[in-house]
Chains A and B, each alone.
Chain A
Amino acid sequence: MPILTVNNLTKIYESGMIIRRYIEAVKNVSFSIEEGEIVSLVGESGSGKTTTANIILRFLKPTSGEVLVDGKDIWKDINTFEDLKEYRRKVHAVFQDPFSSYNSFYPVDRVLYQALELLDKNPRTQESKSLMEDALIRVGLEPKHILGKYPHQLSGGEKQRLMIARCWLIKPKLIIADEPVSMIDASTRGGIIKLFEKLKEEENTSILFITHDMGLAYYISDKILIMYLGEIVEQGTPDEIISSPRHEYTKNLIGSIPTLYRKWE
């Protein structure tokens, strides 16, 4: 059974009080992710990929269609607070902007405390402390350099690593990674990408990797979905997509990406 199944998802935004206008942000989107699979959702800004993520994360109600996590509909089958908690333990996210992922009022430890609380663990016990330190070491951070610091004292890369440490604590079955490296310096990006790969290998975590960067999608994914104007216009393995794109949009996109090992004609 796939960990995530999205069936005919549609989201229409309405605006205006008297003259109503409708914007179709997501149109009839269907796909699924198997356990331990990395699937990339590739599209430019405004293509509907972040709206799709927000629906899967249960922040936004779809106009129609369904999202199944582990076979359960996230809108119909979640009724109690316990159901919701169970869902939150299964699906987690890493967002684009490492700076607005932290509330500047609190030390960065808070993101790990929150994770422990979600697991019904008291964050102040010795056991919790060693869990946190272990998670930090796994993502290549030195606990004593991180704990107790405020967000502005860490670099963007460190903040993003800390977000992945949070995922190590929760061990979700599915991570929605929404452009997780687009604001990180190119030379440090690879380290974060490797951490996602490690999660997949060691914990069999599935990842929905949302990006505008075809190179990254090609490198990291088992399957690529191309999204354009709210629709998934093409899907396939990375090599299929790169070597024989079918949709006009994909062809144009792939033809425009600067390549490293070949020079354009």
Chain B
Amino acid sequence: MWLAMFKPLFKSKKFLISILIFIFIVLLGLVGPILYPVDPTSYAGPFERPPSREFPLGTDTYGGDLLAKVLNGTKTSLYIGFLTAVISMSIGIIIGPISAIKGGVVDEILMSFTNIVLTIPNILLAILIATYLKVRSAEVIAFLLGALGWPWFARAVRSQLLSLINREYVKLSRMAGYNDLRLAFEDLIPGIATYAFMSFILFINGGILGEAGLSLIGLGPTKGVSLGLVLQWAVLMEAVRRGIWWWFVPPGVIIVALTSSLLMITTAMDEVFNPRLREK
């Protein structure tokens, strides 16, 4: 069933191109640091050198190896994105269905809470909280972004489930004596699975961009490297004005390629799975 469902995806050129870009960057982050085992935080050599045989992406003001920084930074950024998505998703996937199935007062309380979180400008709150934390690990950043990003997803899951529950085939399954668990696995989850999957991708995106945003204003992780941190130092040392392009171009390109490939994956999926957009 699942195989048949996802088959048409691989006929979409947009999907194939974007998934290849995404896989390439993931490999860069996962396999890169193993193939190029240079410590990204050590002082490797001369400072502000353009790319050369010895330092393929050059060095920064402190003599750090930029290739090592970008490879490890990609890994951290992906890790933060993924963790953010897991956190947001878990909260949304608990609140949305409870709200939809319980209804009544439970629904109203949960949805009021969701709406409150939804109205808080979350990057602002993230900035406020981050300022108070002296030590910020990658996990803390992911938690901050994840805990603020879930409301729209919870609301969407709730409304989708509400419409599914009243669908006639769900009633017919109940009439055939299905219990709640079987109903959920056979009729409800498949109905929201593609949407949840697409949301997960968007959450990863939000995590990566959120981390970059926080890092750029100096509120990123306090240890390790991430793409956002590399960019932050490039900005601090006025790399753009001084023309040290090898410092800010590679991390910038990776962030743009990563987030736009993820967005393209979701739009391609939308075209395939959303009957209204389906091209005939």
Contact = CB atoms under 8 A, between A and B. Distances in A.
Contact between A and B in the complex (any CB pair below 8 Å): yes
Interface of A: 17, 57, 59, 81, 84-85, 88, 92-93, 95-97, 100-103, 105-106, 111, 114-115, 117-118
Nearest to A172: B175
A59 B174 contact: yes
Contacts, number: 48
Given A57-B171, A101-B168, 11 more contacts: A17-B105, A93-B172, A95-B171, A95-B172, A96-B168, A100-B167, A102-B169, A103-B173, A106-B1, A114-B178, A117-B176
Contacts of A111: 172
Given A57-B171, A93-B171, A103-B169, A118 B177 contact: yes
Given A88-B176, A105-B1, A114-B176, A17 B171 contact: no
A101 B179 CA distance: 18
B190 interface: yes
B5 interface: yes
Contact of B177 (A84, A100, A103, A105): A84
A100 B191 CA distance: 13
B270 interface: no
A9 to B, nearest CB: 19
Contacts of B105: 17
The 10 closest A-B pairs by CB, nearest first: A114-B176, A95-B168, A103-B169, A101-B168, A100-B168, A118-B176, A118-B177, A105-B190, A85-B177, A88-B177
Contacts of B186: 103
A117 B168 contact: no
B5 A105 contact: yes
Among B105, B167, B176: residue with most chain A CB under 10 A: B176
26 contacts: A57-B171, A57-B175, A88-B175, A88-B177, A92-B175, A95-B168, A95-B172, A97-B168, A100-B167, A100-B168, A101-B168, A101-B169, A101-B172, A103-B169, A103-B186, A103-B187, A103-B190, A105-B1, A105-B5, A105-B190, A106-B1, A114-B172, A114-B173, A114-B176, A117-B176, A118-B177
Contacts of A102: 169
Interface string B149-178: 000000000000000000111011111111
Contacts of B169: 100-103
A161 to B, nearest CB: 15
Contact of A59 (B171, B179, B190): B171
B108 interface: yes
Contacts of A97: 168
Contact of A117 (B5, B171, B177): B177
Contacts of B179: 81
